[in-house]
Structure 1
């Protein structure tokens, strides 16, 4: 268990290889590295799960000639992309690959959509990029894919996971210092007095006492430790430590979650589970994280699966993010009344927005408007009639 294993761990988890040196080969250091990785992996995967859960709640609407339809394409994206995954599992893998590697690849085989676990990409400026060594599960395709044959998604120009890990590498020093200080304050300390009579050859005896007797003595809840003639132990006691010490360490670990959330565009309040200000935080999350992500995903899907010909005729896919936010009907009843009475939405539009089944009646698709609404021309005409 040396430097090669540590290097492998850090490379697999995204960066930090430059931190490994020949001084890092001790088992204690390796366990510390493992604990450090758990902290940052918890923050990272919490963010990934929040984004993936949000996208999986979206409805992938399909349109043919500007009419919303629920055909095979709708079923493919919303129910069963392939024989081994439902849409939620498929989207979680898709989003995880996108944020882990800053890119994701989806291929279509026999009418099924598959998210690649790994692939090699050869970019070109004027020709289609080429993808080789495409692996899905335990199967590697022995063919070459071109850019026009696949759905290729790139999250951003910079891999934010590597940047967040670099920031964490510096911040981890503060967390390590806080943990070491806490352990030192909790430890037992004492002084051994050695008489001159026992001075000759006392080092060997001291080593035996320290490594065997004292360890058992300090670890046990109730114990008695024998001391030989010429040795006297004075207990200095342990410092009383308040709960605020562990709170300080917890606060620093929460800081790791905060700057990881910022790298994702997620308000830190959502990651920490704070209730206060959740509505504003959710609006910010949808505006600056989910909506741009959904826009990028649907652009790639439309340009590859519909093309300009289909898109110009009204055949396209739209990722509807409105279903992410929970709707409390009692709290939005006034707003619903305004949406219907203004003629902006029909009854079935509102029912779909709130997650209810549409009413299969012609009147449910009609738009209504109260008599309070009128055009300026109509108002002037009515005013002239009254004054005449």
Structure 2
């Protein structure tokens, strides 16, 4: 039956079917990296996009052009939410983000740029490109909003780990395909002589046979004299499941979330530990980013003289507590005289109001000093 060797070698599907050659190239599976990064970075971006930026002087909010740019429309093509979500994506994925002010007073996020660093002079940004437009002028550090996230690009840092994960995922995927493969034996009467024309016909018949198995839910095998097909494997997966592939993708996302400070239960929507996870997320992931943004905006928008006179920028909308959830604590803070009404409003994310009552510090009897209250029987004894 030496002629069968040539038949099998000419049919790549038969070769794989009979496990004569199972060498598979592990693909890069770049979508695994994209999936994990997009999931985690966009999670943070959606959070920051809810922020409200307030320029405050003498405990009152100032409504000026910067307030409009930061909260409503930074440029003609983006809303504030879209702008800050893209801002965070660039900051984390590229490890840096550059925002310039155009001649029309629009805030634009640069797609690419070159940075010239100096020791005692402001750094210079050249070849700044936004979309398809490249600015001919250069920008000094004190003219732009520029932030870095960490010491290394997240994408470059994760390349080694993603390569290992992609190799493992590719092997598991190919194993899963093989474990669900339907295999069979084709028997040919050796007494028949097969010339080249008959071999060609046999080859076409076998190709159609396996094509029907791949493309149709029901495939019928004709019974021919001297040709028998016997199925030996009906797709038993030997206990394997696609859940293993899903678990691998979940583990990969968990690793990226851990680096960024996002609790794993939160990124996967697990509500059993929601309260604890959201507090950890705000404290260890969002607060540091908000502080970086606030420090950079203060340095570039408010000059030193105004800052020394009390002008500042505060960011609200994410880190504040829900007033309904902390009503009892608010009552105690007010009744103990620790905070006045407007100070509590600020802590809850609300603006102070012009009400003299809210500027007063209240101390209820429950919090009065023992020296100021009359003790029972002392007056009568006197």
Normalized against structure 2, the TM-score is what?
Answer: 0.82
2:131 to 129, 137, 146: 137
Give SS of 1:197's match.
coil
- In the alignment, the residues of structure 2 paired with residue 344 and residue 244 of structure 1 have an alpha-carbon distance, to the nearest angstrom, of 62
CA RMSD of aligned residues (A): 2.9
2:71 to 78, 83, 87: 78
- In the alignment, the residues of structure 2 paired with residue 359 and residue 303 of structure 1 have an alpha-carbon distance, to the nearest angstrom, of 28
Are 1:220 and 2:213 counterparts? no
Are 1:263 and 2:253 counterparts? no
Query: Equivalent residue for 2:97?
Result: 104
Query: Equivalent residue for 1:20?
Result: none
Query: Equivalent residue for 2:370?
Result: 379
- Contact 1:107-1:116 within 8 A present in 2 as well: yes
Provide the aligned length of Structure 1 versus Structure 2. 352
Q: State the Cα distance separating 1:83 from its structure 2 match.
A: 3.1
- Contact 1:214-1:225 within 8 A present in 2 as well: no
Are 1:368 and 2:359 counterparts? no
1:273 to 252, 269, 276: 269
In terms of fraction of residues, the more helix-rich structure is 1
- Contact 1:131-1:146 within 8 A present in 2 as well: yes
- Contact 2:97-2:110 within 8 A present in 1 as well: yes
Give SS of 1:80's match.
coil
- In the alignment, the residues of structure 2 paired with residue 238 and residue 48 of structure 1 have an alpha-carbon distance, to the nearest angstrom, of 43
Change (3 A) 1:173 1:309: same
Change (3 A) 1:295 1:178: same
Structure 1: which 5+ residue stretches go unaligned? 1-27
- CA offsets per residue over residues 254-278 of structure 1, 9 Å max, x none? 0111011112111111111111111
- In the alignment, the residues of structure 1 paired with residue 330 and residue 238 of structure 2 have an alpha-carbon distance, to the nearest angstrom, of 53
Query: Equivalent residue for 1:69?
Result: 61
User: What does residue range 222-241 of structure 1 map to in structure 2 within 5 Å?
Assistant: 222-226=218-222, 228-241=224-237
Q: State the Cα distance separating 1:346 from its structure 2 match.
A: 4.0
Normalized against structure 1, the TM-score is what?
Answer: 0.80
1:157 to 126, 151, 158: 151
Change (3 A) 1:118 1:283: same
Query: Equivalent residue for 2:108?
Result: 114
- Contact 1:58-1:324 within 8 A present in 2 as well: no
- In the alignment, the residues of structure 1 paired with residue 248 and residue 151 of structure 2 have an alpha-carbon distance, to the nearest angstrom, of 29
- In the alignment, the residues of structure 1 paired with residue 321 and residue 234 of structure 2 have an alpha-carbon distance, to the nearest angstrom, of 52
Query: Equivalent residue for 1:173?
Result: 167
- CA offsets per residue over residues 339-363 of structure 1, 9 Å max, x none? 3223344445555666778766432
- In the alignment, the residues of structure 1 paired with residue 56 and residue 341 of structure 2 have an alpha-carbon distance, to the nearest angstrom, of 20
1:191 to 165, 185, 188: 185
Query: Equivalent residue for 1:25?
Result: none
Are 1:38 and 2:34 counterparts? no
- In the alignment, the residues of structure 1 paired with residue 295 and residue 349 of structure 2 have an alpha-carbon distance, to the nearest angstrom, of 26
